[in-house]
Structure 1
């Protein structure tokens, strides 16, 4: 049997007294009436939960989504328009939308976690070569650091190996900030030249 579309009110027969009551309840909710919201909750929460559970298929998550839907109904109550459908139809639409969003979000998270796990497991075949190359680069950096002046070496070490800002480096070395900036710049240029890095 075909039902009446959720977005359209019934075109025949007397208005449903329950829906008329809920229209009034929704008007009161729109004015911030907490008792009216409690009545709205009692009237639609079970329906909302049933719809959400069919989509989400996890009871705990469905309970969370149901709470989100009820909060949505509270916040959006001033926008409710009875001419566009009943309170139940409106709550149903919001519940379905929220449930679909939750499923999509869960799927996106699962995909992201899977991709991360795959990247972690599938290490490059030349992992040993990478480690050797990294060690050689470290040795080259240490050798090039020895070509710097004492203050350049201290400034670069504090900034790049200990994560200090230029201002913190200046305070640590009791040296004016402009001097530190100049020494850092000159030190990095020297390091770049020593390591054969081209711009």
Structure 2
């Protein structure tokens, strides 16, 4: 069951979880596990592996929830970043042994889509993000989209673009700083 929480409610629950509140952690899990499993599945392509990484993700969340700062990122962005990074780490450690499962395997999965109110809020946030992304130069915008929406590593991006790894990291870091500044306006 997916629990619907507002951004502020989720941030508060993360804060309480950071103080060791198990009930608040359960609330965070119920509200976000379906979305984070989707992040892991998209990157890993294997449900069992994605579920394992999801467990690692929530172990990290339990240990680091006290570090969450709602002034720096939305709760779901913070959580999705942890899930993304854990998934990429698992891909790196698995190397060539990874075999992606066909998309058809997911056809029998129940729809865990958001409530209408969550969809409206997400659409508004997505529209704001799109406006801010469009303010970035093309190469930075494309690098950020590919890294965060397609799960490509910085190393893969640097190789694809024929640029040094440090340069790619700088493009993305500066772009994310400009995005944050734009989104805070």
TM-score (norm 1): 0.45
Tell which structure's C-alpha radius of gyration is larger: 1
TM-score (norm 2): 0.49
